[in-house]
Amino acid sequence: MSFFRSRRRAKLRAAPFPSVWRDIIHRNVPLFERLPPEDQTELLGHVQVFLAEKHFEGCGGQEITDEVRVTIAAQACVLLLHRDGDYYPRLTSILVYPATYVLSDESAVGGGLWEEVEDAVDGHTQQGLGAVVLTWDAVARGASDLRDGHNLVLHEFAHQLDFEDGSTDGAPWLDTRQQYRSWARVLSSEFDAFRAATDAGESTLLDAYGATNPVEFFAVATEFFFERAHEMRAKHPVLYEQLQQFYRQDPASFLPRPKRPQH
């Protein structure tokens, strides 16, 4: 990072945070209220940098307002707390649709032939795209419920962290070889066990979409780490510990415990 960029970002982080933006975060992102005070301060600084550097574009008639920008930025920046990484360096734009949109892609059918496949999706990103695509209704819904384990912004921006090392493999940029070895051992074991459980039709804590591949497993695990931390720590303690070391956060220490069912 250049000296000038570093200085500019430090100035942005130190600038007074607009009260209108703070009201949006309080209203739309209940996770913010659960963060320790020092983390709240750090997060607001990151939001200022994120909004200054990333371009937002409305699609399908979606208007880009401060509410849209700040709600998305606040959630995306949760993943940056306590970490020395960059601000999603491979990302330039956030494209926002009002609701589910159709994503077209090509799929091999054999014999050198391809067919066009269309899927209705709420979000999308990929290596080399330089953009995250989100739907505003899914963004708002995921942010508002801290207990459902589903958060579109956390999911798609976990993919962006995966991209930072130049590959898409479910392993983000780590500092040492030992960390990579530990990550590979734990995540591979957890993924294999999870996929076997879903194939067998067993009930699982994590969403079954995480069994698609290691890339989606990391993103789904990130959602549950920040929203259903107590349950993940109880049922998947080794996975929880690995994510805790990477994100340098312990959501179980500040999220409310789930209520026990009444008998």
The string of pLDDT tens digits covering residues 216-250 is 999 999 999 999 999 999 999 999 999 999 999 99
* pTM, rounded to two decimals: 0.92
Where residue 174 falls among pLDDT bands split at 50, 70, 90? very high
The string of pLDDT tens digits covering residues 97-110 is 999 988 766 554 45
Does position 197 have pLDDT exceeding 50, yes or no? yes
User: Among positive and negative, which fits the CA dihedral 155, 156, 160, 163?
Assistant: positive
Q: Which domains does the chain have, with CATH numbers?
A: 1-168 (1.10.472.150), 169-263 (3.40.390.10)
The string of pLDDT tens digits covering residues 45-75 is 999 999 999 999 999 999 999 999 999 999 9
The string of pLDDT tens digits covering residues 139-153 is 999 999 999 999 999
Report the chain's mean pLDDT, rounded to a whole number. 93
